[in-house]
Chains A and B, each alone.
Chain A
């Protein structure tokens, strides 16, 4: 059974960099049939698509964070990562990692979510 698990600091200071890792078990992150991505959800608000990355490292980012975000894959550890720099309180929220089946809108597996708070 595929599982995704987010990890990283739950508290980040303003202006610093938020770094999260998603560890994948039960599937190879090198699969050419899937995309690996991130969503986030501010407290009490809706979901936002942050971006995704494929097996060859091609990245696709949403417009709202495009200037501050970077994603990468670590095939040796079967992980993918998210970095958001210059964070503010508006970056506080739940961050979900997710797998999407290529050539479809099927976001089939989700992590349980990682709470990140931006505060000094």
Chain B
């Protein structure tokens, strides 16, 4: 299966809001509400920010939110902080308990 499509990079200034898109197909994002978003800082394991499209684990800031429309999922980060600078990955269920990832998006806080 093909990887999900994410922008290679996005940037924003402190306090701004940014959106990272994740585009799949009707075989993955479009057909299931099983989409997650991970944040990964250099040298660290990924951390889940959003699961099941828009659910947020306890302890994750409410500045992070997720949504889905058709074959595209989105991660919205509001009130950007310097500490949000990291790589972000989306992942979607595809079929028969298998999963497909996006290529990752590097967020730069200007």
In terms of DSSP, what is the predominant structure of the interface of chain B? Answer: strand
Total A-B residue contacts, Cβ distance less than 8 Å:
65
Per-residue CB proximity of B76-110 to A under 8 Å, as 1/0?
A: 00000000000101011100111111111000000
In terms of DSSP, what is the predominant structure of the interface of chain A? Answer: strand
Judging by beta carbons under 8 Å apart, are B101 and A47 in contact? Answer: yes
Residue among B35, B57, B97, B103 making CB contact with A46, cutoff 8 Å: B103
| Complex Cα gap A62–B98 (Å) | 6
Per-residue CB proximity of A105-119 to B under 8 Å, as 1/0?
A: 111101111000000
Q: Which of the candidate stretches B9-17, B19-27, B43-51 sits at the interface with the other chain?
A: B43-51
Judging by beta carbons under 8 Å apart, are A113 and B45 in contact? Answer: yes
Chain B, interface size: which category?
20 to 34
Judging by beta carbons under 8 Å apart, are A49 and B99 in contact? Answer: yes
A46-B89, A60-B97, A110-B45 are known contacts. Are A104 and B51 too (CB-CB below 8 A)?
yes
A55 lies within 8 A of chain B by Cβ: no
Residue among B46, B57, B98, B99 making CB contact with A106, cutoff 8 Å: B57
Residue among B1, B38, B93, B98 making CB contact with A61, cutoff 8 Å: B98
Judging by beta carbons under 8 Å apart, are A105 and B45 in contact? Answer: no
| Complex Cα gap A111–B46 (Å) | 9
